[in-house]
Amino acid sequence: MRALLEVVLTIIAIVIARAILTSVMRGFVNAGRAASAPPQAAAQNAAPQQNIRAGELHKDPVCGTYVAESTPFRRQASGQTFYYCSSDCKEKHAVLAR
C-alpha cells in the first residue's frame, strides 16, 4: 500500500513540476519574441485594437481601460460622450466633473 502511495505522489510531483517548467519556458519564449520584434511591430501591438465586433474602443477617463462603444456605461456631458468600464467609474467621473 505504501509503494502505491509513493508512486501516486511521485506522479503528482512530476505533473506539477512539468506544469511549472512549461510556464517558465513559455515566459522565456514570449520574452525572446518581444525582444526580437522590430520596434514598429511592438508599437502596433501596444496600441488598442480598433473596430472589433462590438464597435470602436474608447478609453475610460477614470481607470484608462478601453471600452467597446456598445457598453451600457456611458454619459453625455458638454456635447461629448464618455464611455466607462463600470458603474463605479461612471459615478466617479460624474462626481469629478462637478
Q: Is residue 12 part of a domain?
A: yes
- The answer to the question of residue 52 being in a domain is no
Q: Are 71 and 84 in contact (CB under 8 A)?
A: yes
Is 51 within the bounds of a domain? no
Is residue 21 located within the same domain as residue 40? yes
Please check the confidence at residue 93 and state whether its pLDDT lies above 70.
yes
- pTM score > 0.75 for this model? no
Looking at residue 9, its pLDDT comes to 97
Q: What integer pLDDT is reported at residue 50 of this predicted model?
A: 46
Helices (H), 37-86: 39-46
Q: Is the pLDDT of residue 11 over 90?
A: yes
pLDDT of residue 97: 76
**Residues present in the chain in total:** 98
- Binned at pLDDT 50, 70 and 90, residue 39 comes out as low
Q: Cα–Cα distance between 76 and 79 in angstroms, integer?
A: 6
Task: Please indicate, yes or no, whether residues 38 and 19 belong to a single structural domain of this protein.
Answer: yes
Same domain for 41 and 63, yes or no, is no
Residue 40's pLDDT is 55
> 26 in a domain, yes or no?
yes
Mean pLDDT of the chain: 82
Residue 16, domain extent: 2-46
- Residue that is last in its domain, among 25, 46, 67: 46
Q: Are the CB atoms for 63 and 96 separated by under 8 Å?
A: no
pLDDT at 51 over 80: no
**Same domain, yes or no, for 62 and 27?**
no
My answer on whether 87 and 67 are in the same domain is yes
Number of domains in the chain: 2
